[in-house]
A and B are shown apart, each in its own frame.
Chain A
Amino acid sequence: MSGPVLAWSRLRPTPALQVSAAAVLLAFGVGALLIAALGVPVGDAVAAFADGAWGSSYALAASINRALVLMLVGLGFILAERANLTNVGGEGQIAVGGITATALALWPPVAQLPWGLAFIVPMLGACAAGAFWGGIAGVLRVKMGTNEVIATLLLSFIAIWMVYGSVQSEHLLRRPMTSSATLPESLEIPVATQLPLLTGDAGTPLHVGLLIGVVLAVAVALLLNRTVTGLQLRATGLNPRAARRAGMPIDRLAIGALCAAGAFGGLAGAFMLQGEQYTLKAGFSSGYGFDGLVVGLLARGSATGVVAGSLLFGFLRSGGINLEMVAQVPTALVVVIQGLIIVTLAGAAIGIQRMEARRK
């Protein structure tokens, strides 16, 4: 009897999806009102936003690249979240990933490597560095009982300042000072170490990271929902003592989950450096780690949710930049809209939970 009912409910958009969409629209609506209140014609603002977000092939590619970075951090977040660990250290993991990728890419032998290893090696190095950074928090958590929220957050600050430090000194990554005007940043990494463009056209800067990201998103979804490890992570998160009693290596799972989250952050750093910026400078991440954290939080454990959320926030960031440049609307407003989306989505989540509870 329940068969057809079940199938029917599967075909229909879930109330969760409808409510989420409504929440996003509501946030945009409020944003439009605010823009109008600033005296900017809403039509102009919307046009500028759309132009910046997806108006040209360049804008579209830039938005997708931004989304990609957010997605990686978000995927890492939900991975650790499955083991009941909250990784707020995405920003730091991006930073150590960026530093490592820069260092490896600028090391002459690497650029000489054949078969694409020239860009793969810095990427893998960035993953390892991020995993190490996340792993520190994991080990602290398991061995000393340090709360991973605090550990990952504080490690982020260390990493952010490590970027600053490494581009201040010529002994580290700063480009040779030829004049007093030489900026505190690294040299541009060699072309061989840059992520190859998918279109072969710099006007549409989509790079191979997109393919890697898609593969990883599918892999994370499979890992969480369709593998033994996913179940073990879940058991560890829900009831660590029962998981241990059932013979699961809960310490290794916890450290592993934070390492994996860190590796995703590190890879995000590599994508930003090798796929977009090509030089390392202070503040090179500018908050992607924290935005990615928000994406992960809003996704509530679903890889699909991470993909959707990162696309939303990626386009929002791109559109917002243009909004400021063209329509003279302060980017602060984009941050406000972003905040509104977070609040309305979180509120919607609670509403959906209540709805489900009432149906029971």
Chain B
Amino acid sequence: MRERHAIGLGDGISDGGPGFAATPAAAPLLKLEGLSKRFGALQALQDVSLALHPGEVHCLLGENGAGKSTLCNLVFGVHAADAGEMTLAGGAFRPRSPADALSHGIAMVHQHFSLVPDMTVLDNLLLGQVRGVLDRKAGAARIAAMRERYGLALDPHAKVQDLSVGERQRVEIVKCLVREPRLLVLDEPTAVLLPQEIEALLSVCTRVAQQGCGVVLVTHKLAEIQRVARRATVLRGGRVVARSDAPAQDIDALVRAMIQRDLQAPAAAPVRASRASRPAPGSPTREAALLADGLTVRDVDGVVRLDNFTLVVEPGEILAIAGVEGNGQSELGAVLSGMLRPTEGRYFVCGEDMTRATPRQLSAAGCGVVPEDRHALACVTGMNVAENIMLDRLDRFRRFGLLDRAAMRREALDLMQRYDVRAASPDVPFGGLSGGNQQKAVLARELTLEGLRFLLAAQPTRGLDVGAVEAVYGHIRAAADRGVGVLLISSELDELLSVADRVLVLYRGRVMGTCPTAGADRARIGAWMAGHRDKEDVAKEVAP
């Protein structure tokens, strides 16, 4: 398939779009021509051509596994391309390492931060950039200058470990900007941010571009494209499938290009399709899928991470935990998956006390867990896809003492098809799958747990693209419709509100409030997330 230039080509320049400084006719800063890259059996990139202009924000779109990260890594010198040319400001550009790319004026903010938590912002900034004597004064001045130029406010003397995720990301961006790069690459920077932080980041992008720097923004979020993108390129299956010079207007076409699926792939179950047909939550004949009673977690420093947490999840209900990350969600997830003992309190699954249960006992009791940290807890990336899907039920494939690989493979293949896990075969290494497919595989395993009655899904859509998010929630919804109680922990408020029946907000380990999602007042939920209690609640507390 050849690249399609149909979208937006020749649409002219939209002056009504987001503000930009540079003229589009300027020579491209970085030109990629016919880049290809192969990892084993996977053709990650195929004949990708792209022009990045100074003074513009260029959005790179695509589903998980479309090749966006690979493309960034080629530009940043992490990998070398198998074929194709890169031209930087007119000269051939073949970065041999990230350091080489940096010296050519290309800076990249990765999804995972590389900061030393125990050091101050200033020292993190000076790390690796200083020769000879440390000049903290000059460093602090540069941080101040960043605030001036880009509106990036940072306290140079704050320790990184005390900063929020958004602030840490700001440190990473400042680390890049002090090098005065010609091109700034941001790999999915908004995946970890709160709505207001995203807003701030996008204005930084615009300002950086206005100063003449090229900006590449990798994202799946459509609102962001509309807000900042001067141009956009869509990758799918390692190829450029669409590009646009006026992305704000072409948004529908871009989305279609991004998620266009094969017709034979099973469509995700429509969310909330059968909500009405489910038994009414709280029907007295059924025991609560999950009952948490006064769960309290103190960490090693004695800090209370989860404070007297009590909730009930009814069978067939999806209860969502909302809140800014780091307010006790991780601890709650760890307790409910048997990886952490609560300091106080108990919890019951379908009436059975599971407070001291091991993960194995939890599985036996029908508790599925999609953990927050997929790589640490949910999969073994060094093993193959079939082995990972069957990780908790390997015993089933014992035959005469030996492992029945054929049966395992067969069942894995069946689950892969049912859950649309896209991999060349069940025998390929799990680590080679894209994030979305890995998550679908984990979901396939947890949702097919024998006697599943309760599912804990912690951040199940983190880093997933639109199509995968839809599929994940479709499967979760379908499980709830079968009577499984679901506890969904997520920081994506929009997703929570669209998929859950009820939402509960955690703030500093405490329940700030709870309400049904139907007709939910977003402002009120937002206030809870920020730690503001309702006036009437406060009044009740003051005057009992």
Contacts and interface: CB of A to CB of B under 8 A. Distances in A.
B433 to A, nearest CB: 15
Interface in A231-271: 231-232, 234-235, 238-239, 241-249
A242 B374 CA distance: 9
Interface residues of B, number: 32
B380 A235 contact: yes
A335 interface: no
B329 to A, nearest CB: 17
Interface stretch (A7-15, A222-230, A341-349): A222-230
Contact of B392 (A226, A239, A246): A246
What secondary structure prevails in chain B residues at the interface with A?
A: mixed
A360 interface: yes
B386 to A, nearest CB: 10
A180 B387 CA distance: 65
A325 B401 CA distance: 50
B403 to A, nearest CB: 5
B382 interface: yes
Contact of A228 (B338, B369, B394): B394
B410 interface: no
Nearest to B369: A245
A172 B401 CA distance: 42
B403 A247 contact: no
From B40, B369, B391, B401, residue with most partner A Cβ within 10 Å: B391
A39 B379 CA distance: 60
Interface string B199-227: 00000000000000000000000000000
A242 B380 contact: yes
A238 B378 CA distance: 12
A227 B391 contact: no
A247 B382 contact: no
Given A231-B387, A235-B391, A242 B403 contact: no
Contacts of A248: 360
Interface in B360-399: 360, 363-364, 369, 371, 376-383, 387, 391-392, 394-395, 397-398
Contacts of B345: none
Nearest to B362: A247
B456 to A, nearest CB: 11
A201 B160 CA distance: 76
Contacts of B397: 228
B402 A239 contact: no
A245 B380 contact: no
B38 interface: yes
B378 A245 contact: yes
Contacts of A234: 380, 382-383
A234 B40 CA distance: 23
Contacts of B338: 245
B394 A232 contact: yes
A222 B381 CA distance: 23
Nearest to A228: B394
B379 A227 contact: no
A226 B383 contact: no
A227 B392 contact: no
Contacts of A222: 402
A243 B380 contact: yes
Contacts of B391: 235, 242-243, 246
A240 to B, nearest CB: 10
Contacts of A232: 394
A311 to B, nearest CB: 27
B339 A227 contact: no
Nearest to A359: B40
B337 A245 contact: yes
Contact of B359 (A230, A235, A245): A245
A247 B392 contact: yes
Contact of B402 (A227, A238, A244, A247): A227
Contacts of A230: 403
B467 to A, nearest CB: 26
A238 B382 contact: yes
Given A238-B382, A246-B392, A360-B39, A227 B403 contact: yes
Contacts of B377: 241-242, 245
Contacts of B40: 360
Interface string A87-115: 00000000000000000000000000000
Nearest to B405: A226
Given A230-B403, A247-B359, A360-B39, A242 B376 contact: yes
Contacts of A249: 360
Nearest to A232: B394
Contacts of B401: 227
Contacts of B395: 228
A238 B359 contact: no
Contacts of A226: 402-403, 405
A7 to B, nearest CB: 16
A264 B394 CA distance: 26
Given A231-B394, A235-B391, A238-B383, A245 B339 contact: yes
Nearest to B361: A247
B451 to A, nearest CB: 14
A216 B329 CA distance: 49
22 contacts: A222-B402, A227-B398, A227-B402, A228-B394, A228-B395, A235-B380, A235-B383, A235-B391, A238-B380, A238-B382, A238-B383, A242-B378, A242-B380, A242-B391, A244-B358, A245-B337, A245-B338, A245-B339, A245-B378, A246-B392, A247-B358, A247-B364
Interface of A: 222, 226-228, 230-232, 234-235, 238-239, 241-249, 360
Interface of B: 38-40, 337-339, 358-360, 363-364, 369, 371, 376-383, 387, 391-392, 394-395, 397-398, 401-403, 405
The 5 closest A-B pairs by CB, nearest first: A247-B360, A246-B392, A246-B391, A238-B382, A239-B380
Given A235-B387, A247-B363, 19 more contacts: A222-B402, A226-B402, A232-B394, A234-B382, A234-B383, A235-B380, A235-B383, A235-B391, A242-B378, A244-B358, A244-B359, A245-B337, A245-B359, A245-B377, A246-B359, A246-B392, A247-B360, A247-B392, A360-B40
